[in-house]
Amino acid sequence: MEKRFVRTSHLKPGSYVLVDEQVCQVKDLDISKPGKHGASKARITAIGVFDDVKRNLMQSATDDAESPIIDRGTAQIVADLGASLQIMDTASYQTFDLPKPKDITGLKAGDEIEYIKCDEKIRIVRKK
């Protein structure tokens, strides 16, 4: 997995971070003030991008956090295979099979969608 390092205090809601080796999107970031003998702490609440599980990360605000490199693209739905969809990237003409998203309804063959990809995991973000 391609990743880069970002200072924890520079993360913002909506950015991506690795928590327990899972790609997550930051929903909330709370940075405490430094104490008399310590550094400031950052408490990050994030939701898993591919599994929708809530995760928390707490570490020093001056430490680096791992941020995965997320690829975005547009695709067209080629076929509805019941529980899954077959999509084709409109730029590279590469095809992918992925499960139907639970939060987006009314997808059918011929629809254009936006997706995100990290390694081999793909998720449909929205219908165009």
In the chain, where the domains are located: 3-68, 71-127
Mean pLDDT of 50-56: 94
Phi-psi domain of 76 (left: phi exceeds 0; alpha: psi -120 through 50; beta: other): beta
Residue 122 CB partners (closer than 8 Å, separation 6+): 96, 98, 115, 116
Residue 45 CB partners (closer than 8 Å, separation 6+): 26, 27, 28, 29, 54, 55, 56
Nearest residue to 71 via CA among 33, 106, 123, 35: 123
Instruction: Provide the token pair at 71.
Output: 């690829």
Band of residue 97 on the pLDDT scale cut at 50, 70, 90? very high
Express as a percent the part of the chain with pLDDT over 90: 73
Q: According to the model, what pLDDT value does residue 23 have?
A: 95
Q: According to the model, what pLDDT value does residue 94 have?
A: 93
Fold classification of 71-127 is OB fold (Dihydrolipoamide Acetyltransferase, E2P) (2.40.50)
Q: How many C-beta atoms surround the C-beta of residue 123 within 10 A?
A: 17
Residue 70 amino acid letter: I
- pLDDT tens-digit map of 64-75: 999 999 999 999
Q: According to the model, what pLDDT value does residue 114 have?
A: 96
Express as a percent the part of the chain with pLDDT over 70: 100
Band of residue 24 on the pLDDT scale cut at 50, 70, 90? very high
Q: According to the model, what pLDDT value does residue 123 have?
A: 92
| CATH number given to 3-68 | 2.30.30.30
Q: With a cut of 80, say whether residue 35 has pLDDT above it.
A: no
Q: According to the model, what pLDDT value does residue 79 have?
A: 93
Mean pLDDT of 84-90: 94
d(CA 26, CA 114): 20
